[in-house]
Amino acid sequence: MLAVNFRDPAHPEAGGAEQHLAEILLEAVRRGHRVTWLATAFPGAAPEAHDRGMRIVRRGAWWNFNLVVPGVLRREFSSPRPDLVIEDINKVPCLTPWWTRSPVAVIIPHLFGFTAFREASLPVALYVMLLEALIPSVYARSRFVVISESTRDDLVHRGVPRERIAVVHCGLDHEVHRPDPATPKSARPTLVFVGRLRRYKGLDWVIRALPAVRARVPDARLQVIGDGPHRAHLERQARAAGVSGAVDFLGFRPLTEKVRCVREAWALVQPSPKEGWGLTVVEAGACGTAVVAADSPGLRDSVRRGETGLLVPFGDEAALADALARVLEDRALRERLADAGVEWAARFHWPECAARSLDALLAGAGRH
C-alpha cells in the first residue's frame, strides 16, 4: 500500500490532515498491510525513515512535489507496483491515476476552490483551480473518502458521483482532549486561536474585530498558538489596530501546553473561510471550551449551530465582534456551549474513523 501526501507526520508543518492519514495507515499496519508513505523532503530530514511500522520515503519539495511524483512512481514504485495507491489530496492533486497502473483511492480533507486566491498569487491560484478541475475526470474510477458533508457536496457539485464518496468524520484522542477540573479558566477573558498562520486561515478578520470586542470587554485578550509565513503581517496588523498588547503570538507549543491553553481559554475562535472538518473546534469542545467559528464549509459540519458554538458569516467584522463579546460577557452561554461541546465530541474516536475510512478505501480496490 502506497500513500501519497505532501507531508509526513515528522514534517514541521504537519497538522490535522497528516494525523488523519496516519491514523488510517496505522490501522492498515495493524491489519498486516505493508505501508509506504511518499511525502516531500524538508530541511534536516532523511530521505527515508520508519515511523510506527510505516516506511517513509521523502522526495522533492513542497513547491514541486506533484511534479516529482510521476517520476518517483515510475522509477521506484512500478516493479512491483503497489496493490493500492491512496492519494491524500491535501494541497494540489498529484493526478496519480495518470502515473500508476495500480488502483487509486482518494482522501480529500477539502479543496481550495476560490479560497486559493486568499493565499496565493493570481497565477498560482489559477494553477490550483485548474488542477482541482481535473479531479472528476482523472479520478473517474476512484472511490473517495472525505471528512465532512461540505467536502462531499463540493465534490458532487464538481461532478463526482455521490455514490463514490464516503463521509467519515475525524476522530479524537480523548486521553488528551478532555476537561480537566484541575485547570481552571483564565482569570482574564481569553480567546484562543490554534492553527497555521497563513492568509487563508482568516485570523486577520479576528484582529480587525478585536477593537470592537475590547470596547465591550476591555480586558479581553487573544492568544495565538501556531506559526507560519503570515505571522509578521498579523503582528503589524495588531499594532496598527492598537491591540498589540492584547494579542499574544505564542508560536508552536508542545501538545500538553497547547491543550492547557485551550482549557484555560473562555472561547476558541476558528475564522477560516473553508476547512475540511475543523478538528480544532471539536478538540476545544472536548476540553470544555466554547467555540466561535466562521459559518463556512467544514466548520458548519463540526460546530453545531447555537449548541456547541456560535457561527458567524465569514468576513462580517461586526457580527464576529458581537459573537465574541457575547461569549465573553455571558458565563451561562459559555458554559452551555462548553457542556454541549463535551457531549458532541464524545462521539468521535480515531479507531472507528480509521477502520471505516480504510474499509472504504480498500473497497475501491476490491479488497477488504
Q: What is the DSSP string of 108-153?
A: ES---GGGHHHHS-HHHHHHHHHHHHTHHHHTTT--EEESSHHHHH
Cβ within 8 Å of residue 202, ≥6 positions away: 271, 272, 273, 294, 314
Residue 178 belongs to some domain of the structure? no
Vertex 222 angle, CA 216 and 228, to 5°: 145
CB 17 within 8 A of CB 60: no
Tens digit of pLDDT for each residue in 98-148?
999 999 999 999 999 998 898 889 999 999 999 999 999 999 999 999 999
Ranges 11-20, 104-113, 151-160, 355-364: which has the least confidence: 11-20
Are 115 and 133 members of one domain?
yes
Q: Is residue 240 part of a domain?
A: yes
Q: Would you say residue 176 lies in a domain?
A: no
Q: What local confidence, expressed as pLDDT, does residue 366 receive?
A: 53
Quick check: helix, strand or coil at residue 188? coil
Are residue 15 and residue 163 in the same domain, yes or no? Answer: yes
pLDDT higher than threshold 50 for residue 368: no
Residue 214: CB partners within 8 Å, gap ≥ 6? 220, 243, 246
144 domain-assigned:
yes
Which residues does 2 contact at the CB level (< 8 Å), separation at least 6? 36, 37, 38, 77, 82, 84, 85, 86, 102
Q: What pTM value is reported for the model?
A: 0.90
**71 and 120 co-located in one domain:** yes
Inter-helix orientation angle 317-329/203-216, to 10°? 50
Q: Give the Cβ contact number of residue 94 at 10 Å.
A: 27
If asked whether residues 197 and 118 sit together in one domain, one would say no
User: Residue 15: its pLDDT value, please?
Assistant: 84
Residue 233 lies in a domain: yes
Three cell numbers at 297?
464549509
Q: Which domain holds residue 167?
A: 2-171+349-363
Q: Are strands 190-194 and 221-225 parallel, antiparallel or unpaired?
A: parallel
Mean pLDDT of 195-223: 96
> Is residue 182 domain-resident?
no
Q: Residues 38, 8: contact at Cβ < 8 Å?
A: no
Q: Is the pLDDT of residue 342 over 70?
A: yes
Using CA atoms of 56, 57, 61, 66 in order, give the dihedral in degrees to the nearest 10. -100
The string of DSSP codes covering 69-83 is: HHHHHHHHSSTTPPS
Does residue 206 form part of some domain? Answer: yes
158 and 14 assigned to the same domain: yes
Classify residue 368: in a domain, yes or no. no
71 and 197 inside one domain: no
How far is it between the farthest Cα atoms of the chain?
66
Same domain, 153 and 200: no
Q: Are residues 120 and 222 in the same domain?
A: no
Residues 28 and 77 occupy one common structural domain: yes
Q: For the domain that residue 117 is a member of, what is the CATH number?
A: 3.40.50.2000
What angle do helix axes 331-345 and 317-329 make, rounded to 10 degrees?
100
Residue 121, number of CB atoms within 10 A of its CB? 10
pLDDT in tens, 164-187: 999 999 999 999 999 999 999 999
Structure confidence at residue 249 (pLDDT) = 98
Q: Are residues 286 and 326 in the same domain?
A: yes
Do 167 and 239 share a domain, yes or no?
Answer: no
86: amino acid identity, one letter: I
Of 302, 304, 323, 326, residue with least CA distance to 314:
323
Q: Give the total number of structural domains in the chain.
A: 2
Asked whether residue 267 falls in the same domain as residue 353, the answer is no
